Chain A
């Protein structure tokens, strides 16, 4: 697979179709791949493709197209990007919201078999790791080797992934993977919905109280491209500077609600969180609601209007108070 990617990128550079390519290269730690930016064809050999390429690369795109002051006619870069299913859907979202021009993006779509959640490996002192088909060989300091099944280590969002490959792309590589059913995907939300109100509130409080307001979820999220986040605004000042649980709740509710109809469940926020806040149980609720109320899925088509920018005459209205 990686050979195919390298070949494609080489060809793109040769034909002068792109200026920058965003992909992954080997991380400094085992079980990690880091995003890399390739500007010279000789660096292409650095690229890797494995089960640790979990970062959502779309997050880097908007900053290439921020209008610079005094540089009106500046030439916009042409960017090639390696896109898994979730990355691809994020890119569609960004194009739709006019953050990046479609003609400057060359999307190399790839069928993704799911990414490993390193938090699921209990061992702490891993010094080396090797991936073989559907297994991962891990080695610790004493050279003891353990074989782990990749299936058991898959991230939660990957386990229930619906779009393993991007819907909008210029070239698509790899073989098609199996999709999961709708029931599987929404099971954990339905379970949470069934819990009594106080129990839900308790869980929400419990999760939010872990948050240290480091803003890592915001930085990792491709949808959070606002030049000034509501959390940083001083006029109006929505949130106090403390880590008072009430302020943290406002931040989390605000950030999660901002993703309504835009979140693609890529899991970037969950992975970025240093405190292991269970954000997905809240973000996915909005995905489910948007699908249920407005029959809309984020990042699937370039033509459809964003759900909160449009309306239908016969939208859901049962929640309206009648005397």
Chain B
């Protein structure tokens, strides 16, 4: 790190064991470059990702979350990602509704053969979250805003 003052986002990615994790592995084996901002958590299936994980991650000061699974129809467990898709559609819409920036939480499909696509997605997500800046909402470390202090009085 040359410039210590420069803020770099932290992004947690939940990758499914059978497709996206292998996709990330392929990107690495093929020596493709992608931003080093992501932290990978391997899950058995995108359907395993509890919406609470995502909120908890944001609460603990991570700037963005990406959940990635197999393409629809390719799930190792047949329908895990299709059930997850319904959950995430509601979660994303709900988080935006209460005022969390749309780019903070993202979902994608990456297969085990798509190392290139994985790189593209990580680049996109990282640049999206860089644009949004550090997370200021939901966090535990965060002091109550002036607005809230006024109400609590």
Contact = CB atoms under 8 A, between A and B. Distances in A.
**Real complex partners, A and B?**
yes
Contacts of A226: none
Nearest to B110: A323
Nearest to A206: B151
Contacts of A246: 59, 138-140, 142
Contact of B125 (A200, A244, A321): A321
- Which secondary structure dominates where chain B touches chain A? helix
Interface stretch (A37-45, A131-139, A249-257): A249-257
A18 B99 CA distance: 49
A250 B86 contact: no
Contacts of A311: 79, 82-83, 85-86
A289 interface: yes
A217 B95 CA distance: 20
Given A206-B151, A293-B86, A293-B90, A250 B59 contact: yes
B139 A209 contact: no
B130 to A, nearest CB: 15
A230 interface: yes
B49 interface: no
Contacts of B101: 197
Interface string B96-132: 1111110000111100000001001101110000000
A204 interface: yes
Contact of A321 (B87, B121, B137, B145): B121
A247 B140 contact: yes
Interface stretch (B14-22, B24-32, B37-45, B50-58): B50-58
A101 B101 CA distance: 43
Interface in A203-228: 203-206, 209-210
- Which secondary structure dominates where chain A touches chain B? helix
A257 B93 CA distance: 11
Interface in A273-323: 282, 285-286, 289-290, 293-294, 307-311, 313, 315-317, 319-323
Interface range for A = 35 or more
A201 B100 contact: yes
B119 to A, nearest CB: 8
Contacts of B1: none
Q: Which of the listed residues B52, B82, B121 has the most CB atoms from chain A within 10 Å of its own CB?
A: B52
A238 interface: yes
A206 B85 contact: no
Given A201-B99, A320-B109, A321-B124, A254 B86 contact: no
B104 to A, nearest CB: 11
B2 interface: no
Interface in A238-272: 238, 240, 244-247, 249-250, 253-254, 256-257, 260-261
A272 B51 CA distance: 26
Nearest to A290: B90
Q: Which of the listed residues A197, A202, A203, A309 has the most CB atoms from chain B within 10 Å of its own CB?
A: A197
A286 B94 contact: yes
A3 interface: no
Nearest to B119: A323
A193 interface: yes
B115 to A, nearest CB: 12
Interface of A: 192-193, 197-206, 209-210, 230, 238, 240, 244-247, 249-250, 253-254, 256-257, 260-261, 282, 285-286, 289-290, 293-294, 307-311, 313, 315-317, 319-323
7 contacts: A200-B97, A245-B144, A249-B59, A260-B90, A285-B97, A286-B90, A320-B109
Given A201-B137, A247-B140, A253-B94, 11 more contacts: A200-B97, A204-B98, A254-B52, A256-B94, A289-B89, A290-B90, A313-B73, A315-B86, A317-B85, A321-B107, A323-B123
